[in-house]
Structure 1
């Protein structure tokens, strides 16, 4: 049913376009200096949005330990259950877009992925920086100028 509502996935250049089509992105009514509260998009394919939200409800009930289930739990604590359900539906739409676009089967996120990302980030943070202080930069500039004078 979801694939029938989406139609040709090539219509959507990226996952954000599919989420917008389904009405799963927040709306901002900005005017000058005033920024309104973000609410759900009125437009969009309501049937597709409903299908995705129902799929998320099923995931919440039966597969709480899945990636989408963990995402929902985290968001529910932050923004409430109803908004978290729509956020999880948006994430699910991104997964579906990726599967249809690249013809990949669904695979759950690797449990060790977060740990590996944290390790890599730690390694990058420990790399020596190429940044120089202002005084070091001035010394380098003086050395270059003296070499240019010779």
Structure 2
């Protein structure tokens, strides 16, 4: 694995990916992302994209695509480790999706996020940029505020909002 030391160090920056998982990813992909036209092509080849079936104009969810079983196994372990990290984007994504879709589908979505990040990292040779666990609340603060107010109202409280004074 000596010729792939730079790629291994890049992959090690993703939460949930350890040295052994990074070695499996490099061994299965070759570390060269030029053979894949885009991240979507790479996730499809790996079998980490969601299944899609359309019949008579109706879209139905199906199982994930078949792909490289060794890579899928490594991604599953990486996703399982990533969702147990604290204050990371991947863990926040898992918690957010688990409520609606269930734990297994949310885990496949985290695998998809990881493999998309891998393609971008190995293409641009830049380390993983962690967005943080509060990414989704910071992205749409008004939505988070409405949700918190609604929850407090359901508990029987009346809420009055006063904006904080900022000192500059």
1:93 lines up with 2:115 in the alignment:
yes
Report the equivalent of 1:48. 71
- In the superposition, the TM-score normalised over structure 1's length comes to 0.67
Matches of 1:112 and 1:67 in 2, distance apart? 7
After TM superposition, the score normalised by the length of structure 2 is 0.61
Indicate if the aligned counterparts of 2:93 and 2:110 stay in contact, CA closer than 8 A. yes
**Highest RCO, 1 vs 2 (Cα 8 Å, sep ≥ 6):** 2
For 1:67 and 1:110, how far apart are their aligned partners in 2? 5
User: Out of 43, 50, 54, which is 1:30 matched to?
Assistant: 54
- Aligned counterpart, 1:73: 95
Displacement of 1:14 after TM fit? 1.1
Aligned to 2:125: 103
Contact 2:48–2:111 (8 Å) recurs in 1:
yes
CA contact (8 A) 1:28 1:35 kept: no
Structure 2 residue aligned with 1:59: 82
1:11–1:112 CA distance, 2 compared to 1 (3 A): same
Moved over 3 A (4+): 110-119
**Greater C-alpha Rg:** 1
Task: Give the Å deviation of 1:71.
Answer: 0.6
Question: Would you tell me which structure has more helix in proportion to its own residues?
Answer: 1
- Cα shift at 1:109: 1.4
* Counterpart mapping for 1:111-130 below 5 A: none
Which region of structure 1 is more displaced relative to structure 2, 33-42 or 70-79?
A: 33-42
User: Alpha-carbon deviations, 1:96-149, whole Å to 9, x = none?
Assistant: 111100000122116787687659xxxxxxxxxxxxxxxxxxxxxxxxxxxxxx
The 3-state SS of whatever aligns with 1:28 is strand
Number of equivalent positions: 117
Gaps in structure 2 of 5+ consecutive residues: 1-23, 142-168
CA contact under 8 A between 1:59 and 1:69: conserved in structure 2?
yes
